[in-house]
Amino acid sequence: MAEAQDAEAVGDRSKPPWLNQRSIELRLDADTVYDLLVSRGLDDWLQPADFFDLARYYGPMTEEQYRSEAVALARRLLLEGHAVAGDIVDEEHRPWSGSVDDQLARVTALWSDSDVDPRFEFVWFDLTELGRRVAAEALDRLPDLG
């Protein structure tokens, strides 16, 4: 019994410890995960932890798949014009220069290094006016995850 509790407390050692922090029993479809993501942007800038937290709802996956799903969420957010990527400087969002493709390449590079916890490779996403409208509409579609 104690051995089982110890193994449970430690988690799966084949994965980074931060990948074991959420039960992955709950599965959500891609649109619901995206709705959850954009709705978080109504209250604050989106950060890497938001993307990686929600990517877990796709179900069990390898670390590489997990990172890929988080990048895919960022790709959708940027390509659909729902947010801009940038840094926080003097408590203000400062968009990165360059095209959306340039921004996506930068996010992909930041979040793809398997030796680094991607939740702390900071990029901040600020919703656009379109993104705020989409997020407000998403609130009506969100399931009760209570």
Residue 14: pLDDT band with limits 50, 70, 90: very low
What's the pLDDT band for 114 if we cut at 50, 70, 90?
Answer: confident
The whole-chain average pLDDT of the chain stands at 83
Split at pLDDT 50, 70, 90, the class of 95 is: very high
Averaged over 90-114, what is the pLDDT?
92
- Answering whether pTM is above 0.75, one says yes
What's the pLDDT score for residue 129? 98
pLDDT band at 146 (very low <50, low <70, confident <90, very high): low
- Average pLDDT value for residue range 105-133: 88
- The percentage of the chain sitting over the pLDDT mark of 90, rounded to a whole number, equals 56
Residue 24's pLDDT band (cuts 50, 70, 90): low
* Three state DSSP letters for the chain: CHHHHHHHHHCCCCCCHHHHCCCCCCCCCHHHHHHHHHHHCCCCCECHHHHHHHHHHHCCCCHHHHHHHHHHHHHHHHHCCCEEEEEEECCEEEECCCCHHHHHHHHHHHHHCCCCCHHHCCCEEEECHHHHHHHHHHHCCCCCCC
